[in-house]
């Protein structure tokens, strides 16, 4: 993450453009097709960084908090249309974005510590996020709307602490 004192408005604008304005545009254009059909499901990617501090830098966390609020406000904006809007909040997942964290831990021989702060004491894999997305997009989630679903091994259920056994 870029240190706060080195951030400028252009950096923030770019993060917000990608992470928050992109999902808004997806809602805008997808709902144009879904509303006339009287149904649909829009699933956005937020982050546990948008739920509470400590999981990302300032602009990233603020943008993901915005996605969570966007899911809530868009669900209400689409009131009565049959279109649902939800967000998934991934925790620590091994992806291209988190590759440096995983590479560094493996290089230090600390791979077993990755994810230790959540109750499942492990990191997640992309398929776990995909399964949550498939659920939210499906008719099985027909009564889930305006929600931010954390898929984080329980990290956001508490203030993380290192447990000693």
Provide the annotated active-site residues.
Answer: 60
* CB-neighbour burial class of residue 22 (10 A; exposed 0-12, middle 13-18, buried 19+): middle
Q: Which residues contact 41 (CB under 8 A, 6 or more apart)?
A: 83, 84, 85, 86, 136, 137, 138, 141
């Amino acid at each position: 993450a870029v240190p706060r004192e080195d951030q400028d408005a252009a950096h923030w604008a770019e993060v917000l453009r990608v992470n928050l304005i992109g999902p808004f545009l997806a809602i805008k254009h997808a709902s144009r097709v879904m509303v006339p059909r009287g149904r649909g499901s829009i699933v956005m990617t937020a982050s546990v960084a948008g739920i509470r501090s400590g999981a990302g830098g300032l602009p990233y966390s603020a943008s993901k908090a915005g996605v969570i609020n966007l899911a809530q406000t868009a669900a209400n904006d689409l009131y009565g249309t049959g279109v649902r809007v939800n967000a998934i909040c991934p925790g620590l997942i091994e992806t291209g974005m988190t590759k440096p964290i995983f590479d560094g831990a493996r290089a230090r021989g600390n791979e077993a510590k990755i994810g230790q702060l959540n109750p499942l004491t492990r990191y997640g894999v992309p398929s776990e996020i995909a399964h949550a997305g498939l659920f939210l997009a499906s008719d099985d989630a027909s009564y889930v709307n305006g929600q931010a679903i954390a898929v984080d091994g329980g990290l956001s259920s508490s203030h993380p602490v290192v447990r000693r056994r």
